[in-house]
Amino acid sequence: MAGNPFPLNKQQLLQAYRTMRTIREFEERLHVDFSRGDIPGFVHLYAGEEAAGTGIMMHLGDGDRIASTHRGHGHCIAKGVDPMAMMKEIYGRKGGSCEGKGGSMHIADLSKGMMGANGILGAGAPLVCGAALAAKYRKKGEVAISFVGDGASNQGTFLESLNLAAVWNLPAIFVVENNGYAESTSRDYGVAVDSYVDRAAGFGLPGVTVDGTDFFAVYEAAGEIIKRAREGGGPSLLECKMVRFHGHFEGDAQTYRASGEIDDIRSNKDCLKKFAAAVTAAGVVTADELKAIDHEVLGLIERAVVDAKAAPLPTLADLTTDVYVKY
Protein backbone atom coordinates (compact mmCIF):
# COMPACT_ATOMS: atom_id res chain seq x y z
CA MET A 1 0.00 0.00 0.00
CA ALA A 2 1.52 3.29 -1.04
CA GLY A 3 0.43 5.88 1.53
CA ASN A 4 -2.83 7.62 2.25
CA PRO A 5 -4.89 8.32 -0.87
CA PHE A 6 -7.51 10.40 0.92
CA PRO A 7 -7.62 14.16 1.26
CA LEU A 8 -7.63 13.79 5.05
CA ASN A 9 -4.81 12.54 7.26
CA LYS A 10 -5.21 9.50 9.46
CA GLN A 11 -6.17 11.51 12.51
CA GLN A 12 -8.88 13.30 10.55
CA LEU A 13 -10.17 10.03 9.13
CA LEU A 14 -10.42 8.58 12.62
CA GLN A 15 -12.17 11.74 13.79
CA ALA A 16 -14.65 11.51 10.92
CA TYR A 17 -15.39 7.90 11.83
CA ARG A 18 -15.73 8.77 15.51
CA THR A 19 -18.20 11.54 14.71
CA MET A 20 -20.30 9.35 12.45
CA ARG A 21 -20.20 6.45 14.91
CA THR A 22 -21.18 8.75 17.77
CA ILE A 23 -24.18 9.99 15.81
CA ARG A 24 -25.15 6.44 14.85
CA GLU A 25 -24.94 5.00 18.37
CA PHE A 26 -26.61 8.08 19.89
CA GLU A 27 -29.57 7.66 17.54
CA GLU A 28 -29.81 3.89 17.81
CA ARG A 29 -29.82 4.16 21.61
CA LEU A 30 -32.62 6.73 21.46
CA HIS A 31 -34.53 4.37 19.18
CA VAL A 32 -34.38 1.67 21.85
CA ASP A 33 -35.01 3.92 24.87
CA PHE A 34 -37.89 5.74 23.19
CA SER A 35 -39.67 2.45 22.61
CA ARG A 36 -39.45 1.82 26.36
CA GLY A 37 -41.22 5.11 27.07
CA ASP A 38 -38.19 6.68 28.75
CA ILE A 39 -38.06 9.81 26.64
CA PRO A 40 -40.49 12.70 26.71
CA GLY A 41 -41.66 14.33 23.51
CA PHE A 42 -40.79 13.38 19.95
CA VAL A 43 -37.45 12.41 18.48
CA HIS A 44 -36.51 12.32 14.80
CA LEU A 45 -33.46 10.23 14.16
CA TYR A 46 -30.54 10.95 11.82
CA ALA A 47 -29.27 7.35 11.63
CA GLY A 48 -28.20 6.61 8.06
CA GLU A 49 -27.49 10.26 7.25
CA GLU A 50 -24.25 10.67 9.18
CA ALA A 51 -21.94 11.16 6.21
CA ALA A 52 -23.68 14.33 5.06
CA GLY A 53 -23.53 16.20 8.37
CA THR A 54 -20.02 14.98 9.16
CA GLY A 55 -18.57 15.57 5.70
CA ILE A 56 -19.79 19.15 5.75
CA MET A 57 -19.05 20.04 9.37
CA MET A 58 -15.43 18.89 9.13
CA HIS A 59 -14.77 22.05 7.13
CA LEU A 60 -16.27 24.34 9.78
CA GLY A 61 -15.01 26.01 12.93
CA ASP A 62 -16.84 27.39 15.93
CA GLY A 63 -17.14 30.77 14.20
CA ASP A 64 -19.18 29.26 11.37
CA ARG A 65 -22.87 28.95 12.12
CA ILE A 66 -25.44 26.35 11.20
CA ALA A 67 -29.19 26.10 11.53
CA SER A 68 -30.65 22.63 11.70
CA THR A 69 -33.99 20.88 11.42
CA HIS A 70 -36.26 18.76 13.57
CA ARG A 71 -33.79 15.96 12.73
CA GLY A 72 -30.95 17.78 14.41
CA HIS A 73 -28.98 15.38 16.62
CA GLY A 74 -26.53 14.53 13.86
CA HIS A 75 -25.87 18.18 13.02
CA CYS A 76 -25.33 18.94 16.72
CA ILE A 77 -22.81 16.15 17.27
CA ALA A 78 -20.97 16.90 14.03
CA LYS A 79 -20.76 20.58 14.99
CA GLY A 80 -19.18 19.70 18.32
CA VAL A 81 -22.10 20.01 20.73
CA ASP A 82 -21.50 17.90 23.84
CA PRO A 83 -23.43 14.59 23.55
CA MET A 84 -23.76 14.43 27.35
CA ALA A 85 -25.57 17.78 27.40
CA MET A 86 -27.61 16.72 24.37
CA MET A 87 -28.84 13.55 26.06
CA LYS A 88 -29.85 15.50 29.17
CA GLU A 89 -31.73 17.93 26.94
CA ILE A 90 -33.59 15.13 25.18
CA TYR A 91 -34.53 13.71 28.57
CA GLY A 92 -35.68 17.19 29.63
CA ARG A 93 -33.19 17.52 32.49
CA LYS A 94 -31.20 20.38 34.00
CA GLY A 95 -27.69 20.54 32.63
CA GLY A 96 -28.99 19.87 29.15
CA SER A 97 -27.96 22.10 26.25
CA CYS A 98 -31.01 24.25 26.93
CA GLU A 99 -31.37 23.32 30.59
CA GLY A 100 -33.96 20.71 29.72
CA LYS A 101 -36.47 23.29 28.52
CA GLY A 102 -36.20 22.78 24.76
CA GLY A 103 -36.01 19.07 24.10
CA SER A 104 -34.81 17.24 21.02
CA MET A 105 -36.02 19.74 18.47
CA HIS A 106 -34.45 22.80 20.07
CA ILE A 107 -30.93 21.75 21.03
CA ALA A 108 -28.60 24.70 20.49
CA ASP A 109 -25.09 25.74 21.46
CA LEU A 110 -24.07 29.15 20.22
CA SER A 111 -20.51 28.69 21.47
CA LYS A 112 -20.20 26.00 18.82
CA GLY A 113 -22.05 28.01 16.19
CA MET A 114 -25.06 25.71 16.43
CA MET A 115 -28.06 28.03 16.20
CA GLY A 116 -30.44 25.23 16.99
CA ALA A 117 -32.40 22.28 15.82
CA ASN A 118 -35.77 23.65 14.76
CA GLY A 119 -39.27 22.24 14.84
CA ILE A 120 -40.58 24.67 12.20
CA LEU A 121 -39.92 23.42 8.68
CA GLY A 122 -37.72 25.73 6.65
CA ALA A 123 -37.25 28.12 9.58
CA GLY A 124 -33.49 27.78 9.62
CA ALA A 125 -32.90 29.22 6.18
CA PRO A 126 -33.76 32.86 6.96
CA LEU A 127 -31.77 32.60 10.21
CA VAL A 128 -28.77 31.52 8.19
CA CYS A 129 -29.18 34.52 5.90
CA GLY A 130 -28.89 36.68 9.00
CA ALA A 131 -25.86 34.83 10.29
CA ALA A 132 -24.26 35.01 6.84
CA LEU A 133 -24.89 38.76 6.66
CA ALA A 134 -23.18 39.14 10.03
CA ALA A 135 -20.29 37.00 8.81
CA LYS A 136 -19.98 39.18 5.73
CA TYR A 137 -19.73 42.29 7.92
CA ARG A 138 -17.18 40.71 10.26
CA LYS A 139 -14.92 39.91 7.30
CA LYS A 140 -13.29 36.90 8.95
CA GLY A 141 -14.18 34.51 6.15
CA GLU A 142 -16.88 32.78 8.18
CA VAL A 143 -19.86 31.05 6.59
CA ALA A 144 -23.35 30.01 7.64
CA ILE A 145 -25.06 26.79 6.58
CA SER A 146 -28.76 25.94 6.49
CA PHE A 147 -29.92 22.34 6.50
CA VAL A 148 -33.35 21.53 5.12
CA GLY A 149 -35.04 18.34 4.04
CA ASP A 150 -36.68 17.57 0.72
CA GLY A 151 -40.06 18.44 2.19
CA ALA A 152 -39.00 21.75 3.68
CA SER A 153 -37.39 22.72 0.39
CA ASN A 154 -40.91 23.53 -0.79
CA GLN A 155 -41.37 26.09 1.98
CA GLY A 156 -41.49 29.75 1.04
CA THR A 157 -38.92 30.58 3.70
CA PHE A 158 -36.40 28.38 1.96
CA LEU A 159 -37.07 29.77 -1.50
CA GLU A 160 -37.04 33.36 -0.25
CA SER A 161 -33.73 32.69 1.47
CA LEU A 162 -32.17 31.42 -1.75
CA ASN A 163 -33.17 34.65 -3.44
CA LEU A 164 -31.96 36.93 -0.68
CA ALA A 165 -28.64 35.12 -0.33
CA ALA A 166 -28.07 35.44 -4.07
CA VAL A 167 -29.06 39.11 -4.21
CA TRP A 168 -26.80 40.04 -1.28
CA ASN A 169 -24.04 37.57 -2.24
CA LEU A 170 -24.03 36.09 1.24
CA PRO A 171 -21.57 33.44 2.45
CA ALA A 172 -24.53 31.13 2.95
CA ILE A 173 -24.78 27.50 1.95
CA PHE A 174 -28.07 25.68 1.66
CA VAL A 175 -27.88 21.94 2.14
CA VAL A 176 -30.88 19.92 1.02
CA GLU A 177 -30.80 16.57 2.79
CA ASN A 178 -32.92 14.68 0.32
CA ASN A 179 -33.82 11.37 1.93
CA GLY A 180 -36.83 10.93 -0.35
CA TYR A 181 -39.56 11.41 2.24
CA ALA A 182 -41.27 14.44 3.68
CA GLU A 183 -42.66 12.65 6.71
CA SER A 184 -44.53 9.96 4.81
CA THR A 185 -44.84 11.72 1.46
CA SER A 186 -42.44 10.51 -1.15
CA ARG A 187 -40.74 13.21 -3.18
CA ASP A 188 -42.39 11.65 -6.23
CA TYR A 189 -45.64 13.15 -4.97
CA GLY A 190 -44.45 16.31 -3.30
CA VAL A 191 -41.76 17.76 -5.53
CA ALA A 192 -42.65 18.63 -9.12
CA VAL A 193 -39.05 18.69 -10.27
CA ASP A 194 -36.74 16.58 -8.16
CA SER A 195 -33.71 18.69 -8.82
CA TYR A 196 -32.59 21.21 -6.28
CA VAL A 197 -29.82 22.19 -8.65
CA ASP A 198 -32.54 23.45 -11.01
CA ARG A 199 -34.09 25.41 -8.16
CA ALA A 200 -30.76 26.96 -7.22
CA ALA A 201 -30.11 27.93 -10.83
CA GLY A 202 -33.54 29.54 -10.93
CA PHE A 203 -32.43 31.83 -8.12
CA GLY A 204 -29.03 32.56 -9.59
CA LEU A 205 -26.79 30.43 -7.43
CA PRO A 206 -24.91 27.27 -8.35
CA GLY A 207 -26.13 23.93 -7.11
CA VAL A 208 -24.39 20.58 -6.80
CA THR A 209 -25.78 17.10 -6.20
CA VAL A 210 -23.74 14.45 -4.40
CA ASP A 211 -24.29 10.99 -3.02
CA GLY A 212 -24.95 11.80 0.62
CA THR A 213 -24.05 8.27 1.70
CA ASP A 214 -20.49 8.73 0.47
CA PHE A 215 -18.48 10.66 3.06
CA PHE A 216 -15.69 11.49 0.63
CA ALA A 217 -18.03 12.80 -2.07
CA VAL A 218 -19.73 15.06 0.47
CA TYR A 219 -16.41 16.15 1.99
CA GLU A 220 -14.91 17.07 -1.37
CA ALA A 221 -17.94 18.92 -2.71
CA ALA A 222 -18.58 20.72 0.58
CA GLY A 223 -14.93 21.75 0.75
CA GLU A 224 -15.12 23.53 -2.58
CA ILE A 225 -18.46 25.17 -1.82
CA ILE A 226 -17.37 26.40 1.61
CA LYS A 227 -14.04 27.65 0.27
CA ARG A 228 -15.86 29.60 -2.42
CA ALA A 229 -18.16 31.18 0.15
CA ARG A 230 -15.28 32.07 2.46
CA GLU A 231 -13.51 33.82 -0.41
CA GLY A 232 -16.52 35.97 -1.21
CA GLY A 233 -17.85 33.76 -4.00
CA GLY A 234 -21.35 33.84 -2.58
CA PRO A 235 -24.02 31.27 -1.79
CA SER A 236 -24.42 27.75 -3.17
CA LEU A 237 -26.77 24.85 -2.76
CA LEU A 238 -25.64 21.32 -2.01
CA GLU A 239 -28.10 18.49 -2.42
CA CYS A 240 -27.15 15.34 -0.56
CA LYS A 241 -29.10 12.32 -1.72
CA MET A 242 -29.36 10.09 1.31
CA VAL A 243 -31.40 7.57 3.24
CA ARG A 244 -32.82 7.51 6.74
CA PHE A 245 -32.90 4.23 8.56
CA HIS A 246 -35.78 5.01 10.90
CA GLY A 247 -39.18 6.60 10.52
CA HIS A 248 -39.90 10.27 10.28
CA PHE A 249 -40.43 10.19 14.04
CA GLU A 250 -40.01 7.41 16.54
CA GLY A 251 -43.28 5.52 16.56
CA ASP A 252 -43.77 5.98 12.81
CA ALA A 253 -45.18 2.73 11.40
CA GLN A 254 -43.51 3.51 8.05
CA THR A 255 -46.25 1.94 5.97
CA TYR A 256 -45.10 4.17 3.11
CA ARG A 257 -41.86 2.24 2.69
CA ALA A 258 -41.55 -0.57 0.15
CA SER A 259 -41.18 -4.07 1.49
CA GLY A 260 -37.51 -4.80 2.16
CA GLU A 261 -36.51 -1.17 1.65
CA ILE A 262 -35.02 -0.65 5.09
CA ASP A 263 -33.05 -3.91 4.97
CA ASP A 264 -31.78 -2.92 1.55
CA ILE A 265 -30.57 0.52 2.60
CA ARG A 266 -29.00 -0.77 5.80
CA SER A 267 -27.09 -3.35 3.79
CA ASN A 268 -26.19 -1.37 0.71
CA LYS A 269 -26.29 2.32 1.61
CA ASP A 270 -24.81 2.40 5.10
CA CYS A 271 -22.38 5.32 5.01
CA LEU A 272 -20.43 4.00 7.98
CA LYS A 273 -19.86 0.63 6.36
CA LYS A 274 -18.80 2.31 3.14
CA PHE A 275 -16.38 4.61 4.96
CA ALA A 276 -14.89 1.80 7.02
CA ALA A 277 -14.45 -0.37 3.94
CA ALA A 278 -12.71 2.43 2.05
CA VAL A 279 -10.24 3.40 4.77
CA THR A 280 -9.37 -0.16 5.79
CA ALA A 281 -9.01 -1.33 2.16
CA ALA A 282 -6.60 1.54 1.59
CA GLY A 283 -4.61 0.36 4.61
CA VAL A 284 -4.67 3.76 6.27
CA VAL A 285 -6.70 2.61 9.27
CA THR A 286 -7.07 -0.87 10.72
CA ALA A 287 -10.30 -2.61 11.61
CA ASP A 288 -9.06 -2.81 15.21
CA GLU A 289 -8.63 0.94 15.38
CA LEU A 290 -12.22 1.36 14.24
CA LYS A 291 -13.46 -1.24 16.71
CA ALA A 292 -11.69 0.61 19.49
CA ILE A 293 -13.60 3.75 18.55
CA ASP A 294 -16.85 1.77 18.44
CA HIS A 295 -16.19 0.57 21.98
CA GLU A 296 -15.36 4.03 23.28
CA VAL A 297 -18.43 5.53 21.67
CA LEU A 298 -20.74 2.92 23.15
CA GLY A 299 -19.24 3.74 26.53
CA LEU A 300 -19.84 7.45 25.98
CA ILE A 301 -23.47 6.91 25.02
CA GLU A 302 -24.07 4.68 28.03
CA ARG A 303 -22.61 7.34 30.34
CA ALA A 304 -24.73 9.99 28.65
CA VAL A 305 -27.91 8.01 29.27
CA VAL A 306 -27.01 7.20 32.88
CA ASP A 307 -26.16 10.85 33.56
CA ALA A 308 -29.31 12.08 31.87
CA LYS A 309 -31.55 9.79 33.87
CA ALA A 310 -29.83 10.87 37.08
CA ALA A 311 -29.98 14.59 36.36
CA PRO A 312 -32.72 16.63 38.08
CA LEU A 313 -35.77 17.92 36.26
CA PRO A 314 -36.17 21.67 35.82
CA THR A 315 -38.19 23.32 38.59
CA LEU A 316 -41.06 25.78 38.38
CA ALA A 317 -38.55 28.56 39.06
CA ASP A 318 -36.70 27.56 35.88
CA LEU A 319 -39.84 28.40 33.89
CA THR A 320 -39.15 32.13 34.08
CA THR A 321 -35.41 32.07 33.40
CA ASP A 322 -33.73 32.09 29.99
CA VAL A 323 -36.60 34.13 28.54
CA TYR A 324 -36.62 37.67 27.22
CA VAL A 325 -39.00 39.04 29.84
CA LYS A 326 -37.76 39.53 33.39
CA TYR A 327 -40.34 38.27 35.88
- For the bound state, the minimum distance from the C-beta of residue 219 to other proteins, rounded and expressed in Å, comes to 7
CB of 167 to other proteins, least distance (A): 19
Segment 113-132, which members bind other proteins (CB under 8 A)? none
Closest approach of other proteins to the CB of residue 83, in Å:
29
* Size of site (CB under 8 A) for other proteins: 36
> Among residues 231 and 296, whose Cβ is nearest to other proteins?
231
Residue span binding other proteins (CB under 8 A) among the ranges 61-69, 126-134, 190-198, 300-308 = 190-198
User: Which residue from 219, 243, 304, 314 is in contact with other proteins, where contact means CB under 8 A?
Assistant: 219
> Interface with other proteins includes 278 (CB under 8 A)?
yes
One-letter amino acid for residue 72 of the chain: G
CA distance 129 to 163: 10
**For other proteins, which residue of 195, 230, 257, 294 counts as binding (CB under 8 A)?**
195
SS3 letters across 81-117: CCHHHHHHHHCCCCCCCCCCCCCHHHCCEHHHCECCC
197 binds other proteins (CB under 8 A): yes
The dihedral sign for the CA sequence 157, 163, 165, 167: negative
Cα 110 from Cα 116, distance rounded (Å): 8
Q: How far apart (Å, rounded) are the C-alpha atoms in residues 6 and 112?
A: 27
Of 36, 111, 156, 188, the residue at the interface with other proteins (CB under 8 A) is: 188
Per CB under 8 A, contacts with other proteins among 38-77 are none
Cα 218 to Cα 214: distance, rounded to the nearest angstrom: 6
Report if residue 208 touches other proteins, rule: CB under 8 A.
Answer: yes
Which residue in 187, 190, 133, 191 sits closest to 161, CA to CA? 133
Does 261 interact with other proteins (rule: CB under 8 A)? Answer: no
- Residue among 156 and 260 whose Cβ is closer to other proteins: 260
Query: How far is it, in rounded angstroms, from Cα 17 to Cα 71?
Result: 20
Q: What is d(CA 269, CA 306) in angstroms, rounded to the nearest whole number?
A: 32
Among 56, 221, 240, 271, binds other proteins (CB under 8 A): 221
Cα(214)–Cα(20) distance, integer angstroms: 12
Exposed / middle / buried, residue 189 (Cβ in 10 Å: 0-12, 13-18, 19+): exposed
Among 11, 193, 263, 326, binds other proteins (CB under 8 A): 193
**Residue among 213, 134, 131, 211 nearest 173 (CA):** 131
Q: In the bound complex, what is the minimum distance in angstroms from residue 151's beta carbon to other proteins? A: 16
Question: CA 235, 224, 145: angle at the middle one, nearest 5?
Answer: 45
Residue from 136, 241, 246, 248 that binds other proteins (CB under 8 A)? 241
Minimal distance in Å, beta carbon 176 to other proteins?
A: 12
Nearer to other proteins, 133 or 278 (CB): 278
Residue 302 binds other proteins (CB under 8 A): no
Phi/psi of residue 10, nearest 5 degrees: -60, -40
Smallest separation, CB 2 to other proteins (Å):
5
Report in angstroms how near the CB of residue 228 gets to other proteins at its nearest: 6
- In this structure, the strands spanning 207-211 and 144-149 are unpaired
- By CB under 8 A, name the binding residues for other proteins: 1-2, 5-7, 187-188, 191-195, 197-198, 200-202, 206-210, 214, 216-217, 219-221, 224-225, 228, 236, 239, 241, 278, 282
